[in-house]
Chains A and B, each alone.
Chain A
Amino acid sequence: MADAHDGPDHGDNAGTAVARQDSHDAAAPPAAVVRADRIPNPGFPPERLRVTDLDPKKARQAERTITVLFFLSVLGSVLAVAAYILFPIEEGDPSTIRLNNMLIGVGITLGLLGIGIGAVHWSKTLMHGHELVEERHPTRGSDESRERAVEIFREANAESGFTRRSLVRNSLIGALIATPIPAIALFRDLAPAEDPIALLKHTMWETGTRLARDPSGTPIKASEVTIGSAFHVIPEGLAELESHRLEEKAKAAVLLMRLPLDELNEDPAKADWSYDGIVAYSKICTHVGCPVALYEQQTHHLLCPCHQSQFDVANHCEVIFGPAARPLPQLPITVDEEGYLVAKSDFTEPVGPSFWERQL
């Protein structure tokens, strides 16, 4: 048994200390089988000298290259200043912005890259190139320094009376707890002052609001919407809003299209929501709220450019592709006595993407 252990151990110098001890004490049974390293640590390959170490001519050449790089850097910095002065941005001529920016950029790039490439080339070719191993020192501190650290804490506690003067300590803790309160109050105010759910559920459309062109705000007559037309619509009065105009537009934007009547397949429950083939749908995608307005006149598909949701306008805007979960909300429309298109009511469901409190 001992022989069996002795054999390989004697023949293998790379065996561990335990294995070697085993071979000396042949009578004792092995406590554990410790395998010798089958693959010895290859160590470092023989150090290869660089051409600049061997050939002084090459070293001088590298020196010149590095110097040229540093001079190029100086040149680049000067060029940037010169470009700023010689090629100023002239008002009313956007092409001067382009030239000015490009030359300044080229100059600064040259300035920085010249230093960077030069420094790296220097260290790679001319600085001392020998290889060495730096051992990592242990993370744990020495026993003395650890004891000293504990002692410092104890002394500080004794001198300040942090545990002894409990009133001072507790009032400090209280003060620290109170300091973030202003931040909470300030950031809380970033939330809408009004009930956000009510804001999400209602738009500017009301019964009788005329459909108007974006951006001019002129009302649209039903007779002006020819077959195949697409109008980008805002509620009349939005263009004149003093405040929250964009917020209202973001909810109330509508796309108006006229389809041939024989191609329009309407939901019987919403049969009177359109007028003579003219349908109005919210432009806000039900997925994450991008404006959906890529209307294809022949296929009647509406494409959202953000995530490729597709809605079929001919089939009450049902989703035919993509991540949107619901059809686009339809705006019920009719005409008033002057022939202008008007909304019958607000949207009957919240427009845009889902939110936590959304019913339906």
Chain B
Amino acid sequence: MAPTSPASARRAGRRSPLATAALLVVGLLATGGAYALATTTTATAETTVASAQLIDEGGKLFAANCASCHGLDAEGTAAGPTLIGAGALAVDFQVGTGRMPMAASGPQAEVKPVQFTQEQIDAMAAWVADLAPGPAVPADRYIAGDGDAAIGAELFRINCAMCHNVAGAGGALTEGKWAPGLAGVDPVHIYGAMVTGPQNMPVFSDLNLTPEEKNDIITYLLYLEENPPVGGWDLGSLGPVSEGLFIWIFGLGGLVAVTIWLTAKSN
């Protein structure tokens, strides 16, 4: 910014070119700062203290309940993967559905009664999120289930139905693993599973399915739960397996019984 001509020297003498920008920044900071001070001074301070406490609390819970497999600094061990970058949403899903802590090491973590209160889960989630950035718990509007069920159904059929069954009833995978049924699952857990890809489920990040599209899928699943199937008794929505077994046992069994009754002599 050295002056190279009389014209620029005169300009620089009056006001540096950076001064405009600097003034703007100072002005913005002052206004914004004053506004923030005027409105949320106490709230911000409280949140910061609370989140520091929360993270601290979460770290203690983690050390007591999770560190034996995931390592004291969540760096991962032979028994469990690292959680650095896993994000708050992964913790909310895994612990909030009772999958973690696992009862035993195995190919699939099973749903169990939840071991922690939501406050404790939030604390551990805050601690894990503090390690490295990762997927966060979504805003309420993305898990409200007020989207378009028809779009959600199409997306579900393309992206989810091959494992979870078109009616969300779940299905078998390889070597004893399975895709769980989706009835009664909390929308935040459905969302969390899509974003974090727990266990063998692939990741459906926001770049693949947008948060709005995820809300549509949640809407479809809620619609399935709220509306009884029009075809009557769905036999678990498992398709030919349960339907075939039913007709094999009760249909053919009924035919055999009727045949015996027809040909037997009356008393």
Contact = CB atoms under 8 A, between A and B. Distances in A.
A34 to B, nearest CB: 37
A324 to B, nearest CB: 14
Contacts of B207: 221, 224-226
Which size bracket describes the interface of A in this complex?
A: 35 or more
B266 interface: yes
A228 B205 CA distance: 10
Contacts of B227: 94-95
B171 A226 contact: no
Nearest to B198: A297
Contacts of A125: 266
A222 to B, nearest CB: 11
A101 B231 CA distance: 9
Nearest to B201: A297
Contacts of B199: 297-298
A98 B262 contact: no
Interface string A193-234: 000000000000000000001110000010011111111100
Interface in B81-138: none
Interface in A293-324: 293-299, 301, 303, 305, 310, 321
A297 B228 contact: no
B14 interface: no
A156 interface: no
A124 B267 CA distance: 9
Contacts of A120: 261-262
Contacts, number: 91
Interface size, B (range): 20 to 34
Contacts of A341: none
B201 A229 contact: no
A50 B262 CA distance: 15
Nearest to B263: A124
Interface stretch (B30-38, B65-73, B157-165, B183-191): B157-165
A94 B179 CA distance: 28
Given A298-B199, A299-B174, A303-B174, A215 B162 contact: no
A293 B265 contact: no
Contacts of A95: 227-228, 230
Most A Cβ at <10 Å: residue of B155, B174, B177, B265: B174
Nearest to A300: B200
Contact of B267 (A51, A102, A310): A51
A52 interface: yes
B174 A301 contact: yes
Contacts of A227: 203
B148 to A, nearest CB: 13
Interface string A243-278: 000000000000001000000000000000000000
B71 to A, nearest CB: 19
B171 to A, nearest CB: 7
A215 B154 contact: yes
A321 B174 contact: yes
A95 B261 CA distance: 37
Interface of B: 154-155, 158-159, 162-163, 171, 173-175, 177, 179, 197, 199-205, 207-208, 227-232, 261-262, 265-267
The 6 closest A-B pairs by CB, nearest first: A230-B202, A224-B207, A296-B200, A228-B203, A124-B266, A293-B162
Given A94-B230, A101-B232, A226-B203, 15 more contacts: A50-B265, A50-B267, A94-B227, A95-B227, A98-B230, A124-B265, A125-B266, A129-B266, A215-B155, A226-B205, A230-B202, A291-B162, A294-B162, A296-B174, A298-B200
